[in-house]
Amino acid sequence: MNTPVTPALPSRLPDVGTTIFTVMSALAAEHGAVNLGQGFPDFDCDPKLLDAVTQAMREGLNQYPPMAGVPALREAVSAKLDTLYGHRYDPGSEITVTAGATQAILTAILCCVHPGDEVVVLEPCYDSYGPNIELAGGTIVRVPLTPGTFRPDFDRIAAALTPRTRAIIVNSPHNPSATVWTRDEMQRLAALLRPTGVLLISDEVYEHMVYDGRPHVSAASIPELAARAFVVSSFGKTYHVTGWKVGFVAAPAALTAEFRKVHQFNVFSVNTPVQHALARYMADPAPYLELGAFYQHKRDLFREGLGATRFRLLPSEGSYFQCVDYSAIDEHSTEEDFCRRLTTQAGVAAIPLSPFYAEGFQQRIVRFCFAKKDETLQRALDRLARL
């Protein structure tokens, strides 16, 4: 009898392993640490939203929705973007509901990047960007944000653009650094791209988490950028339901047509009752309009507590992350080693910044997530104060 043999499979992503988020969350669970590493809330969403999902299911809204998304939800998104950013997207031809923002970004890349095309990413960056570009056959062109401040260096971005550049990915509010691009910076980006055919993938999943009176400057609010942009956002981040994996993309009709060609073959459509529930829930704008104040309270509580530790705080302008420099505590350990010891010995899990860089750039900076109950944050602060 012949022994069954599994054929060899050359990897499409040979350099990709288990993400640092999975590693640190598993370590936190093993040691009973307070998990401020992976970016998700430890509190529940509004019960009204759960009731709306239950109602939609009981109404029989459980079969396939339209490929591009439930019309009522696309109309609600269109109205919100028009009100907040002054740009009206046609809900029929310019808004698509996606299975989360990560799928949205992958689909945007797959629909526009051809083998040999270059895509500019600004490091540190979310870890899906690079593998997405590789799966499309594109070439990743990495441009660092300014170390220490994490602001865009437009001279370096300009130098990275070539006739082969197909797209640039911009993320504001930024994960992991928590910086927020200003209107001047977004307008400088528009001027830089003006003479080119470069597309923009604008990752805006933390759009409603901005602090201290700052506005979120969406690509949708700048006509020159809106005309070339896939604007990506996430209901999961906005409504504390990250596990539902529902997001959306807004883009001009010509770009949306290409986006949907790929979307229909990698997910086709997204959870029907959840879409109906979100559409109904969005009739009241208060939950997303008040989100900044909700998270600023948590940010301020966490930053005040960190002031009693030896960590040096970096600015947290937006998102639900706080980066800190641990040099005064440990001058020698790599960021990952420090995070491992912080988890196993101090009982608090964080995420090193180095994995957000392809070359693992070390700055002795780690990232905490403050999307947690106040008591969770206080428990972590009590442990961090002992360092």
Same domain, 236 and 340: no
**Residue 384 and residue 92: Cα distance in Å, rounded?**
50
Domain end residue (candidates: 231, 250, 285) = 285
Same domain, 108 and 211: yes
Is 226 inside any structural domain?
A: yes
Q: What pLDDT score was predicted for residue 370?
A: 98
Is 262 inside any structural domain?
A: yes
Is 352 inside any structural domain?
A: yes
User: If you ran DSSP here, which 8-state letter would residue 207 be given?
Assistant: T
Same domain, 128 and 253: yes
Same domain, 295 and 338: yes
Q: Predicted confidence band at 162 (pLDDT cuts at 50, 70, 90)?
A: very high
In sequence order, the β-bridge partners of residue 366 are 324, 352
CATH at 296: 3.90.1150.10
Q: What pLDDT score was predicted for residue 2?
A: 84
Q: What pLDDT score was predicted for residue 84?
A: 98
Q: What pLDDT score was predicted for residue 18?
A: 78
Is 13 inside any structural domain?
A: no
**Residue 350 and residue 21: Cα distance in Å, rounded?**
9
Same domain, 296 and 350: yes
**Residue 108 and residue 387: Cα distance in Å, rounded?**
44
Same domain, 142 and 231: yes
Q: What pLDDT score was predicted for residue 157?
A: 98
**Residue 380 and residue 382: Cα distance in Å, rounded?**
5
Is this model's pTM higher than 0.75 or not?
Answer: yes
Same domain, 215 and 358: no
Which phi-psi region, left, alpha or beta, contains residue 143 (left: φ > 0; alpha: ψ -120 to 50)? Answer: beta
- Alpha-carbon distances of 6 from 3, 9, 12, 253, rounded to whole Å: 10, 9, 17, 45
Is 264 inside any structural domain?
A: yes
Q: Predicted confidence band at 90 (pLDDT cuts at 50, 70, 90)?
A: very high
Is 5 inside any structural domain?
A: no
Q: What pLDDT score was predicted for residue 297?
A: 98
Average pLDDT score over residue span 244-253: 98
Share of the chain above pLDDT 90, in %: 95
Give pLDDT tens digits for 348-362. Answer: 999 999 999 999 999
Residue length, the chain?
Answer: 387
User: HSE of 340 in the Cβ direction (CA atoms, 13 Å)?
Assistant: 7
Q: What pLDDT score was predicted for residue 55?
A: 98
Annotate 146-176 with DSSP letters as a single string.
PTTT----HHHHHHH--TTEEEEEEESS-TT
Domain end residue (candidates: 285, 308, 326) = 285
Q: What pLDDT score was predicted for residue 38?
A: 85
Average pLDDT score over residue span 59-70: 98
CATH at 138: 3.40.640.10
Share of the chain above pLDDT 70, in %: 100
Same domain, 269 and 339: no
Q: What pLDDT score was predicted for residue 22?
A: 86
**Residue 165 and residue 173: Cα distance in Å, rounded?**
24
Q: How many domains does the chain divide into?
A: 2
**Residue 135 and residue 303: Cα distance in Å, rounded?**
39
Residue 309's domain comprises 20-45+289-384
Same domain, 89 and 237: yes
Q: Predicted confidence band at 23 (pLDDT cuts at 50, 70, 90)?
A: confident
User: If you ran DSSP here, which 8-state letter would residue 228 be given?
Assistant: T
Peptide bond into 176 cis (omega under 30): yes
Q: What pLDDT score was predicted for residue 327?
A: 97
Same domain, 299 and 279: no
Same domain, 301 and 167: no
Is 11 inside any structural domain?
A: no
Is 3 inside any structural domain?
A: no
Give pLDDT tens digits for 198-245. Answer: 999 999 999 999 999 999 999 999 999 999 999 999 999 999 999 999
Task: Look at 19-33, 39-53, 140-154, 161-175 and tell me which has the smallest mean pLDDT.
Answer: 19-33
Domain end residue (candidates: 265, 285, 305) = 285
**Residue 106 and residue 129: Cα distance in Å, rounded?**
8
Same domain, 35 and 57: no
